[in-house]
Amino acid sequence: MRYQHNGKDEYFDLSGRPLKKSFMRMPIEFARISSRFNPRRKHPVLGTVRAHKGVDYAAGTGTPIMAAGDARVSFVGWQNGYGRTVVLDHGNGTTTLYGHMSRFGKYKTGSRVSQGATIGYVGMTGLASGPHLHYEFRVKGVHRDPLTVTMPKPDPLTGAELARFRAATAPAMAQLKRVEGVRLAAR
């Protein structure tokens, strides 16, 4: 069912649960994995062994970087090693970090962003041997591998919003039931 939610058309199942994924494992297009999550990795610039706490996606400078999920922007600025960095707070203790950006999107600390919004562009600021996105996924402060972490399910509609969804989708539901009835009768 298509239903307008927070000013956008979104898709829900019949019980009011969003069909979209809550997070993107790869918040960038036209990129390839150049370094995986690895607790003991030799750093390509420093040459020392230290944990790689995220996934690197190699891409051309200027490639847009997307918000992995709906969030509030909790940091926009420079972080040692990661250069131009954005951190998003998705609620329920989940945060994501995006490093080495060449420049930022239009969002400031405190802004709300929707999944897929451009929060910055690929670059190689900080300690980077080439243009790439360094992407981290943290649950309650603990780094998790974005490629394998079990993503939380998106919250279903509740309360008044669920009642509105039911009212708005009632005609389509009735039509589905009619079609179903015709098919059963034809058997």
- Only one of the segments 49-57, 68-76, 80-88, 136-144 lies at the binding site for Zn ion (rule: CB under 5 A); that segment is 49-57
Per DSSP, the three-state class of 119 is: strand
Q: Which is nearer to Zn ion, 1 or 124 (CB)?
A: 124
* SS3 category, 185: helix
Taking residue 44's Cβ as centre, other Cβ atoms within 10 Å add up to 14
**Segment interacting with Zn ion (CB under 5 A) among 39-47, 61-69, 128-136, 170-178:** 128-136
Answer positive or negative: Cα dihedral of 81, 82, 84, 90. Answer: negative
Question: What is the CA 103 to chain-centroid distance, rounded?
Answer: 19
Q: Is-contact 118 124, C-beta < 8 A?
A: no
What's the min distance (Å) between Cβ of 141 and Zn ion?
A: 19
The window from 13-21, 54-62, 105-113, 156-164 that contacts Zn ion (CB under 5 A) reads: 54-62
Supply the minimum distance, in Å, between the C-beta of residue 181 and Zn ion.
56
For Zn ion, which stretch binds (CB under 5 A), given 76-84, 88-96, 133-141, 178-186?
Answer: 133-141
Q: How far is the CB of 55 from Zn ion (least distance, A)?
A: 7
Q: Which tokens go with 87?
A: 């951190």
CB of 133 to Zn ion, least distance (A): 8
How many angstroms separate the Cα of 33 from the Cα of each of 111, 169, 173, 178? 29, 41, 43, 48
Q: Is 109 helix (H, G, I), strand (E, B) or coil?
A: coil
- Our finding on whether 56 is near Zn ion (CB under 5 A) is yes
Q: Is 90 in the site for Zn ion (CB under 5 A)?
A: no
Query: CA nearest 38: which of 23, 25, 18, 56?
Result: 56
Q: Which residue is nearest to Zn ion (CB)?
A: 134
Contact status: 70 vs Zn ion (CB under 5 A) = no
> Rule CB under 5 A: which residues touch Zn ion?
56, 134
